[in-house]
A and B are shown apart, each in its own frame.
Chain A
Amino acid sequence: MSEVILRLKQDPVVTLEAEVITPDKFAEMSHEQICESIVYHGKRQLRLDEFFEVEGEKSEHIVLHGDMHRVRHLGRAMTMGSLTAHGDVGMHLGAHMKGGEICIRGNAGDWVGAEMSGGKIHVRGEAGQQVGAAYRGSLAGMKGGIIIVDGSAGIEVGMRMKRGTIFIRGSVKDFAGLQMIGGTIILGEGAEIRTGAWMQRGTIISLKPIDLMPTFGESGVMNPTFISVYSNLLKPHGCELPNDQNLGCYRRFSGDRSVPGKGEILIWQEHALN
C-alpha cells in the first residue's frame, strides 16, 4: 500500500492552516504538486514543503510525523482514505469530514470532527473542546460517523450534534451534549457539570456517576436492549458497554425539561455487592 508520508521539519511559529492535507486531494497529486500545494502560515501563503518533508505521491493514505499542535484543519472534509498522525495535531481535525478514517497517536486540539457527517476519528491521546460540535451559529453539529477519544476531552462535547456516536474514554468537562438534537455520547469516566443542558433528543450514556441538573427527571431503571446492540457495534472499535443485568443497571433521566426536551441520560450503576 503506497502512502504519502509527511514529516514536520520546521515548527510553525503561528498556526499553520493546512486543509490541503486530505486523502481526497493527495490521491490525485504528484509528488511535485504535493510539495508546492499552499498552506497558510498566519496570513502568509507558503508551499507545503517549507514545513514538511514529503515522501510518496498519489495515495489516499497519509501518514504524518512530528509535533503538529499548531497545524490546523488536517483531513478537512475528507471523504475516503486514511490519515494517521504520530504526534499531536491542532484544531479542526477532520472537520466537515464525510468518510475515511483518521487515527491520531497523540493529542488533538479543539473542534475534532466538528460538523462531520461520516467516517471515523480515533484520538489515542486527549482531545480539546467542542468534539463533534456545531460551529458557532450553526444549527447542527456532527451528523454521522464516530469519534473515539481514549483520553479526556474539554467542554461542549457533541454540542448540537444530530446523529453519530462520540465515545470519550476519559473524563469530559462542562456542557457535554449541550443543545444536543440526536445521536449518542458515551462518557467513560463521567463529566463535570451541566451535562445535557438544553438537550432536545439523543442519548448520553455515562459509565460513572455524574451530577445532573435539576431539569432532568428520573424515569426508571433499566437495561435497554439497544445497549447490547450498541456494544456489539462498538466492539470492533475497541469499545464496550456494560449490559449485564447481573452486574448492574442504567438509571434513566429524561430532559432537558427547561427546553422542554425528550433526551435521555443513562447512568450505569453497578449493583452493590452483597
Chain B
Amino acid sequence: MLRITGGTIYDPANGINGEVRDLYIADGKFSSKFDAGRTIDATGMVIMPGGVDVHTHVAGGSINFGRARTPEDHRRTHAFIRSKTRRSGLGGMAPTTFATGYLYAGMGWTTVNEAAVPVLSARHTHEELNDIPIVDKSSLVLLANNEIILDLLEEGEDERAKQIMAWYIWAAKSYGVKAVNPGGVASWKYGNDSKHLTSKISGYDHITPGTIVTKYAKMIDELGIPHPLHLHCNNLGAPGNVETTLETMRHLEGSRAHFAHLQYHAYGGDDWGNMRSEAARLAEYFNAHTNMTTDAGAVLFGDTVTITADGPWQHLLYKLTGRKWGNLDVENETGCGIVPYTYRPSNLVNAVQWAVGLELLLLINDPWRVFLSTDHPNGACFWRYPEIIQLLMCADYRNECMANLPLNIKNKISLPEISREYTLYEIATITSAGPARSLGLKHKGNLGIGKDADLVIYHQDKDIARMFGHPRYVFKGGEIVIEEGDIRETPDGKEYLIQPFYEPDIDEFLRPRFEDRYCMSFENYPVEMERIEHAQIQKCTGDDAEDGDSQ
C-alpha cells in the first residue's frame, strides 16, 4: 500500500481542479483507505493522471520501416545503454521499442494508442507492442481501403461488410478502426488519389470516399466499438483542404467520429504560396458539433520522419522535398509511405502548419474534445510534448517563437490574435482525461477510487517545458516507475483489445474472397491470442457488463 500526501491534484474526470488531497493506492488501483505502507510527501507538487496518447505510431511495419530509413538519426541520437533495469535502445525521431516505453513513461505518459495497423502486419505490431515496457497499449486497424470490405459496399451488402469489419478487428486483435484517406489509398494502387468526398475511387463505380466514411461510422456505432471511427481525412496536407474536412464533418453529423491530426486538414488557399490557416473556421464548426473529438497533430520545428498509410500523399511529399522515399505494398489492405522531413521556421508552409496545430488547440473551446498529439513521428516526436504544453500555457513564449516566423506569414495565421493560456486543469484534460474518455478506457486518466493507479507528480516550475519533461515521480499500476529522471521499474504494460460480435459463418463466406486476393493463407492470417501478452479484452457496448474492464 502507498500513500501520497500533500500534492495539488488536477483530476478533470472527477472535477478536481487544484485541490490538495491525499491519494491512497492498493493493488495497483486507487483506494479509499490506507492501513500501512510507504508515504510519499508530494507537498507543493502537482499531481495529474498519467498521460494517454490517442494517436501515435510506435510499433509495426511502418514505423519499423521508418527506423530503417533513418540510420543518420541513430548515429546522432540519445542512446539508452543497457543496465540492470532497462534494455538498450535508441531515442531520436523513431525510437526503438524499449526506448519508446522509457521515453513515454519518462514524461509521465502511461497509455498509448498505436493508430495504424494493417492486419497483415498486426502480428509484427503486437510483437513490438509486447516489447514496449511500462505503458499500456491499444491499436487501431486500417480498414478504409480494404478491398474485400469496399467490394461488399459496392455490392450493397452493408450488413456483411459490418460483419467482416468485426471479423478483421478480432483477426488483428485490435481495439478499433482507423480510416486513412478512405478510398484514396485504394486509388493509389492505380496511381491515382481520391481527394474529395465525391471523387471516384479507382476500380469502383458506386462508392465514393463519402460513402465509406458515413457507412464506416455507422457500422462502428452499430458494433458498439468503444472508440469511434478514427479518421484521417482525404486530401491531407494540401492547401485548401479545409473544404474536404468540413464536408467530411457534415457527412458524419449524427455519428461519433474522431478526427486524427486535424492540423494537417485545416488549410486554406489554393497553392503552396498562398496556403493559410483555416483553423478558426474549422474550430467554429467543430465547437458547434459535439459528436466529434480530435487530436491536434501539432507540428514542431526540427527533424522528423513522416510515416503514414497515405501512400499517395507521401509520394507527393517526396516529389516536393527530394528527400528519401519508401513505399510499402500492403496487398489489398492499405498503403504505407515513409519520407524523412525537416520542419523549418523559415519555410512559410511549415510555419503555417506550426501555427495551425496551436490554433486548433487554442480555438476549440472544449478541452474534452481536442487532445494533445503530434501524430508522432509525423509532426514531431512524442518526447517533445512538453514543448507544446509550454506553448499552450505561456502566451509570452508563444509570441517569442512567432518572432522567428517569416514576415509574409501575416494574415495567413490567426495565432497572434489568440491570448488564451491553458490552465493545468485543461492540460490534464487534453493529455489524459479527454483521450482516455474518447478511447473508452474508463479506468484511465482518472484518479477516482478503483481506477488504475497511473499518475504523475511534477515539481512546480515556472519553466513549463522542464516541469513536464522531468516529472518527480511516475506511477504505473501503483508502482513507481520513474523517480527524478531515473527508471526504477519496467513492468510490462497491458494491451487492450475488443471482440466485436460477428456471425460464426462469416469465416466460410470470407474464405474464397480472401483466397482470391491474399498471398497469405486464410488460416495463418488472424493473430493468435497467445501472441498477445497481458491482453485485456474490453467490452463493446451492447455486451452485458457495465464497466469496460474485464479481467
Contacts and interface: CB of A to CB of B under 8 A. Distances in A.
A138 B71 CA distance: 8
Instruction: Classify chain A's interface size.
Output: under 10
A136 B74 CA distance: 11
B17 interface: no
Main secondary structure of the interface of A (DSSP, over half): loop
Nearest to A96: B75
Contact of A135 (B69, B70, B75): B75
Contacts of A136: 71-72
A222 interface: no
A220 interface: no
Contacts of B72: 135-139
A136 B69 CA distance: 10
Interface in B60-85: 69-73, 75
A272 to B, nearest CB: 42
Interface string A117-148: 00000000000000000011111000000000
Most chain B CB neighbours (cut-off 10 Å) among A135, A136, A137, A138? A137
Nearest to B69: A137
A11 B70 CA distance: 36
Interface string B168-199: 00000000000000000000000000000000
Contacts of B323: 139
A260 B416 CA distance: 40
B88 to A, nearest CB: 14
Contacts of A137: 69-73
Interface in B82-132: none
B374 to A, nearest CB: 22
A135 B70 CA distance: 11
A84 B348 CA distance: 48
A137 B73 CA distance: 8
A139 B340 CA distance: 10
B340 to A, nearest CB: 8
A163 to B, nearest CB: 18
Nearest to A139: B72
Contacts of A139: 72, 323
A138 B72 CA distance: 5
A8 B438 CA distance: 66
Contacts of B75: 135, 138
Contacts of A138: 72, 75
A41 B71 CA distance: 24
B70 to A, nearest CB: 6
Contacts of B71: 135-137
A136 B68 CA distance: 11
Nearest to A136: B71
A18 B146 CA distance: 53
Interface in A136-180: 136-139
A200 to B, nearest CB: 9
Nearest to B75: A135
A13 to B, nearest CB: 26
Interface string A10-45: 000000000000000000000000000000000000
Interface string B121-162: 000000000000000000000000000000000000000000
A137 B66 CA distance: 12
Nearest to B324: A137
A45 to B, nearest CB: 13
B363 to A, nearest CB: 36
Nearest to A200: B322
A135 B69 CA distance: 13
Contacts of B73: 137
Nearest to B73: A137
Contacts of B70: 137
Nearest to B303: A139
Nearest to B340: A139
A139 B72 CA distance: 8
Nearest to A259: B322
B243 to A, nearest CB: 35
A135 B71 CA distance: 9
A136 B71 CA distance: 7
A135 B76 CA distance: 12
Contacts of A135: 71-72, 75
B326 to A, nearest CB: 12
B177 to A, nearest CB: 35
Interface of A: 135-139
Given A135-B72, A137-B70, 12 more contacts: A135-B71, A135-B75, A136-B71, A136-B72, A137-B69, A137-B71, A137-B72, A137-B73, A138-B72, A138-B75, A139-B72, A139-B323
Interface of B: 69-73, 75, 323
Q: Which A-B residue pairs are the 10 nearest by beta carbons? A: A137-B71, A137-B72, A138-B72, A136-B71, A137-B70, A135-B72, A135-B75, A139-B72, A137-B69, A135-B71
5 contacts: A135-B75, A136-B71, A137-B71, A137-B72, A139-B72
